[in-house]
Amino acid sequence: MAKQITLPFTEKTASELAFRLGVSKSRQKRIFAIVEKQQAKSTSPARWRSQKGKTNTAKKAVTLTSRARARSNAKVTR
């Protein structure tokens, strides 16, 4: 079995970590804003509402990247 290490320390907060890594207050604010925006996007009810009532195929189509969409379109025209 590969070796296992038990950690003696407790976790730091993001602000403490930013201070330790020399990330300035303004940069820290920008990072937190980006993270919060991303989290809000992922938990937004609008995202789930827009998916409601759609078939599984339609749901999958929403998540396709533009390249994958182009590829699947190409297959249809061939």
Partner 1 sequence: MPKSRVEPDACFLNIPYDQQFEKLYLAYIVGLTALGFVPRATLGVPKDARRLNRIFNLIQTCHYSVHDLSRIQLDRKTPRAPRFNMPFELGLAVAWSTLNPRSHSWVGCDAVHHRPVKSISDLNGTDFHIHGGTVKGVLNALCNAFVSRGERPTVPGMFRAYLLLRQASAALQAAAGARDLFQARVFADLVVAARKLWEQRSLTNKLLV
Plot region of 54 (φ>0 → left; ψ -120 to 50 → alpha; else → beta): beta
In the complex with partner 1, which residue's Cβ is closer, 9 or 55? 9
Query: Rounded CA gap, 15 and 27, in Å?
Result: 11
Q: Give 26's contacts (C-beta < 8 A, 6+ positions apart).
A: none
12, 47, 60, 69: which one binds partner 1 (CB under 8 A): 12
User: CA angle at residue 39 from 22 to 63, to 5 degrees?
Assistant: 125
The residue count for binding partner 1 (CB under 8 A) is 33
17 vs 62 by CB, closer to partner 1 = 17
Piece of 30-38, 46-54, 55-63, 66-74 that binds partner 1 (CB under 8 A) = 30-38
Q: Which chain residues interact with partner 1 by CB under 8 A?
A: 1-14, 17-18, 20-23, 27-28, 30-32, 34-39, 41-42
